[in-house]
Amino acid sequence: MLEEGELAHIFAGGLRVFPIFQDNGRTLSEYYWGNGYKHGQKAHDQAVHFGFNQGTVIYFAVDYDATDADMPQILEYFRGVVSGLGSRGKRYLHGVYGSRNVCAEVTKETYARYSFVSGMSWGFSGNLGYPLPSNWSFNQVKEYKVTDGTDTFWLDRDAHHLGSDPGQDSINRPASPAADFINYIQSLYDLAKAYGKGDPNRLVMEYIRSDKYDDATWRGLIGKVDAGFVAYANDHNMSIWTEFKDPFTGQYLGPEHMMATANGQYVKPNPKGDISLGDVAGWGGDLMTLYGEWRRDHDSYASGATYIRDKMGKIGVASTFGFTDLVEDADGYLIAQAVRGGKTIVQAVHDHYGGNGGLTRFRDYVNQRFGGTISEAAAQAKKILTDTPTSTDGAILVGGRILLIQTYGGTGTLMPHLLPGGQLDDWCNAFGDNLVQHASTERIRRAEYRANQQRLFRSK
């Protein structure tokens, strides 16, 4: 149990922490989707309370000897965890604590970022004959007694996997201004050119998404990152930025999601009037997760259109498609388009945040991707939710759609093409209307956004 003020003492001693969430969790009966959903939300709220920075991995515990027969129920629990964290805005990543077998299965099926292996539990059947999962970060290997004066207590000795989760050495880290983010992109781009292999623009996008958006699903969507460049950049003291301040709205944006969106559009652009896997890496994937959330909540939200109006692109409203998600989708798309048009990624990012690009982000996004109309945006939304293309990319798109919707809505969630009557049309029209409303609000607030940019572009 983490106590108030304890983190300050830990950091003052030069130590790091790794948050583990456990609310009992010692019997199979506690592992089901609904409990995972509540635990994901509770873990998020506690992490925010203690000030953990965006992108922190929270390890959710399976603290008993789970067998293969238990695994379907445990996997449903972790899908609930993902949905619970997503419903709060996807600020934190889920990891898994448990036996080797549990960690490997949860990682394979729910894409846990890292595994914390309970290797000290040598009697667990899930540790017998199973290799360490490839994404292991910590492994408990021994418990020993420590005596400090009259105080005696037990400590675990853990092995750490170099290059994995480094743990956290700070809390409440302030977001950097956009000017510093542009300088960061310049430094990363310079390293990409010095690396001498591949497209430097693409390497920058891949590096920034590499920690959070390079699991099997993302590799299927838009390809794997260049691991050689990731290692090269890390060897040159680079690290992945998780937040910076948008100079126009003052909101904290996530470069990882934005550059995953940009990378998707850059390598898998949509044909005119059609959808692509690049869309799933951006707005399409976010719309799928929001659909899953709506079906999860449909008993209290019969109208999908109302759900979109209340949940999509709203400041201060937690959902998988909140305001910053929408901004990151728009900015990632526009930056990729600028690079495809001949700019370097440094120029594209500079012009967007240091120039006037961000003043008209929603107008440009709606015009360039959705033809400038509610009806075309609605048509594209319907395609991304229901089309079943026959190409290899189409099969990946359909599989990704099912995965995202069922992860956030639960197994058995009604798929969009099975919605009765005009409910899907209402949902898609509401999506288009939401985008156009954001473009209209942006126009009304243009003077305010310009003043914000002059004040926030370089300020800490």
Distance between CA atoms of 451 and 175, rounded to whole angstroms? 19
Q: Once rounded to an integer, what is the mean pLDDT over residues 443-450?
A: 97
pLDDT in tens, 427-446: 999 999 999 999 999 999 99
Q: Which residue's entry shows tokens 């680079």?
A: 238
**Percent of the chain scoring above 70 in pLDDT:** 100
Q: Which two tokens stand for residue 187?
A: 């430094």
Q: Would you give the distance in Å from CA 50 to the centre of its chain?
A: 20
Sorted by sequence, the CB contacts under 8 Å of residue 434 that are 6+ apart come out as 308, 309, 312, 313
Q: Higher confidence at residue 146 or residue 422?
A: 422
**Which residue type occupies 370?**
F
Return the structure tokens found at 146: 């420590």
Q: Tell me the CA distances in angstroms from 319 to 35, 291, 442, one per residue in order.
A: 18, 11, 21
pTM for this prediction: 0.91
What are 110-133's pLDDT values in tens digits?
A: 999 999 999 877 678 899 889 999
Report pLDDT digits (tens) over 222-256. 999 999 999 999 999 999 999 999 999 999 999 99
Instruction: State yes or no: pLDDT of 460 exceeds 70.
Output: no
DSSP 11-51: HHTT--B--EE-SS--SGGG-SHHHHHHHHHHHHHHHHHHT
pLDDT for 129: 87
Residue 241 CA to residue 457 CA, distance in Å, equals 17
Q: Which SS3 state, helix, strand or coil, does residue 60 take?
A: strand
Can you tell me the mean pLDDT for 364-384? Answer: 97
